[in-house]
Copies of this chain bind each other. A is one copy, B any other.
Amino acid sequence: MFNLRGMYAPIATPFENDEIAYDRLEENMNFWLNSKLSGFMVMGSNGEFVVMKPEEKKELIRAVCEMSKGKKPVIAGTACESTRDTIELTEFAAKVGADAAIMINPNYYKRALSDEVIKTYYIDVANASPIPVLLYNNPANTGINLSSKLVADLSYHPNIIGIKDAGGNIVQIAEIINNSDPNFVVHAGSANFLYPSYVLGAVGGTCALANILPDECAEIQELVDANKHNEARLLQLRLLEINHSVTARWGISGLKAAMEMLGLFGGIPRRPLLPLSDQDKKLLRDILEKAKKPA
């Protein structure tokens, strides 16, 4: 099994003239490959997977696997609203070298998507997938929460190895750790609650913030491992405001603007998302400046 411990970046997809810019992606990948990141998640929410065509999704997964080959593992986001499309994309990801596949739950027919229906979805996909599968909980985007009971049930499937939980409910994270298969891996899905997740037993994170501050994100876990809890605490508190800006407040538009400011290629998101206004860019720049220096 590849290493799921540590910090993964759910990488942003660079667009130029509204098309995926593979040369820009390679520049970013080089930065990330030389960081403390443990691995990559391609085609997550921050990768704008919902605005990409099926062929684009495949090309992007293939490209990231090639760029990362032999260096760091790649987890491919393969969620489609239908089970069959998810399986097809998961099989493709396996073929081009992804180490694992991760999928957000289907979420359009909210009233019909009972625990039973979602469970069947994940079991169908996990049964068919040639590579290990991770769950992905993101109620702010999906409007559905994967309950700790549902996650614990699925954790015992032999091909389901972990979850990225972006919900931020720390009690739920504790319950998942309490009730799941001991080998089941929990990743905090946001830098907002990395440190409290680690102390409860999470073994990694997959955080938007790792696109721009991979080392700082990785260091929280290093500090916990070294039993330096006060330093971990201070680093966590320092990362809060900037992370709030690049996730809750300005989302992908904020993340991409921050990437530009920090020397990466960011570009702008695909519509309907709109780029940051000049005024918001100024606010963001101030936050980045402040966050870079320890208090």
A contact set with B: CB distance below 8 Å: 18, 45, 50-54, 80-85, 106, 108-113, 116-118, 120-121, 124, 140-143, 168-171, 174-175, 177-178, 192-193, 195-196, 199-201, 227, 229, 232-233, 236-237, 240-241, 248, 250-253, 270-274
Contact = CB atoms under 8 A, between A and B. Distances in A.
Q: Which 5 A-B pairs have the closest CB atoms?
A: A196-B196, A51-B82, A143-B143, A83-B271, A121-B272
A277 to B, nearest CB: 10
A124 B193 contact: no
A141 B84 contact: no
A289 to B, nearest CB: 17
Given A50-B108, A141-B110, A253-B112, A82 B196 contact: no
Nearest to A247: B111
Contact of A112 (B193, B270, B273): B273
A193 B197 CA distance: 11
Nearest to A237: B178
Contacts of A124: 271-272
Centre residue among A109, A140, A227 by max chain B CB count within 10 A: A109
Contacts of A54: 53-54
Contacts of A53: 54, 85
Contacts of A177: 237
Contacts of A116: 274
A111 B124 CA distance: 30
A237 B202 CA distance: 13
Given A110-B140, A112-B273, A120-B272, 4 more contacts: A109-B273, A168-B169, A169-B169, A170-B196
B174 A141 contact: no
